[in-house]
Structure 1
């Protein structure tokens, strides 16, 4: 019986966009969240009120960085977090 190990390699590591704080005007931030996610304004406002919350998950770094800039322009505090690499489940039999 031979044991084989597989290592998955991907060129781009996914990132999460996290809204840390909605700032002084949460409605402006909710409008940006609406544009980013396609949610309704009401659902975007609910999401903003739950900060800290992940707004976008598993997106390329460039998209996450531009979304952070848009949220900061609206008055919110946001950050990009790199997804941790999944651990290897072990040998495949």
Structure 2
């Protein structure tokens, strides 16, 4: 008897990627500091090497919330799905 199974994963890990801090870079640094727990220096360093993965391997809701907050601060960012 042959059995086959199809495994599905509903909660794939996601990344939040910052591509441009926009005109309010200081506000974006502070936002990243509050949302990620990284130091202000680390957040400022991320902005210096774009595109930068700000959150890695998190649930979709978490990544989407951060990207939404970054958009509200006039930054450009997007969510990617980890393979």
TM above 0.5? yes
Correspondence for 1:42: 41
Structure with max Cα Rg: 1
Larger CA deviation: 66-75 vs 9-18: 9-18
**Root-mean-square deviation (Å):** 1.5
Unaligned regions of 5+ residues in structure 1, if any? 1-6, 85-93
Correspondence for 2:18: 19
Count of residue correspondences: 78
Structure 1 segments, 4+ long, off by >6 Å, are none
Correspondence for 1:62: 61
After superposition, the C-alpha distances for 1:9-54 in whole angstroms (9 at most, x for unaligned) are 5331000000011111211111111112111112111112211100
CA contact (8 A) 1:22 1:49 kept: no
Larger CA deviation: 42-51 vs 12-21: 42-51
